[in-house]
Amino acid sequence: MKVLLDTNVVLDLLLAREPFVDLAKEIFSLIENTEVEGYLCATSVTTLHYLIGRAMNKKEADEIIEKLLTLFEVTPVTKKVLYDASIDNGVDYEDSVIYTSAYHSQINIIVTRDKRGFKTSKVSSLTPKEFLAFFESRE
């Protein structure tokens, strides 16, 4: 199963944001144990670097991104993805780019805490709690 994590879920873990960090840890464990294939959108990687650098420092941001890139595959953001996202009429262009990139990469599920931003997505979106319940029900 190919699962793309939205930026907010990754930040929940990296910045230990309560009360969300424990669910994010569980999802990261599934990816680390190769029970699911983890993906990030290319735009999320740059956003994560920027936000981590502000919360910590550039050196730590570089190291964290390096670790993330060993754990996750990255969905590309091409001209077609950007164009399709622009005509999608979604709530937020940034989210539209993420789910359009996921769609073009045949992602099965997007895990996000902001499902409102993914209403028009052709890829199913689940909250971390919903995703973990779905994953456990499959076993």
Local confidence band at 139 (pLDDT 50, 70, 90 cut-offs):
low
Position 80, amino acid: K
pLDDT above 90: percentage of residues in the chain: 93
The pLDDT assigned to 91 comes to 81
Tokens of residue 105, six digits: 């990469």
pTM, 2 dp: 0.94
Strand ranges (E), the chain: 2-5, 37-41, 73-75, 109-111, 124-126
Local confidence band at 138 (pLDDT 50, 70, 90 cut-offs):
confident
The pLDDT assigned to 88 comes to 86
Domain boundaries along the sequence of the chain = 2-131
pLDDT 10s digits, 9-53:
999 999 999 999 999 999 999 999 999 999 999 999 999 999 999
Position 103, amino acid: Y
pLDDT 10s digits, 31-41:
999 999 999 99
pLDDT 10s digits, 69-100:
999 999 999 999 999 999 987 789 999 999 99
The pLDDT assigned to 10 comes to 98
**Residue 39, C-beta contacts closer than 8 angstroms, at least 6 positions apart:** 2, 3, 4, 5, 72, 73, 74, 75, 102, 105, 107
The better pLDDT of the pair 88, 7 is held by 7
pLDDT 10s digits, 118-130:
999 999 999 999 9
- CATH ID of 2-131, from 3.40.50.1010, 3.10.20.30, 3.90.1150.10, 3.40.50.300: 3.40.50.1010
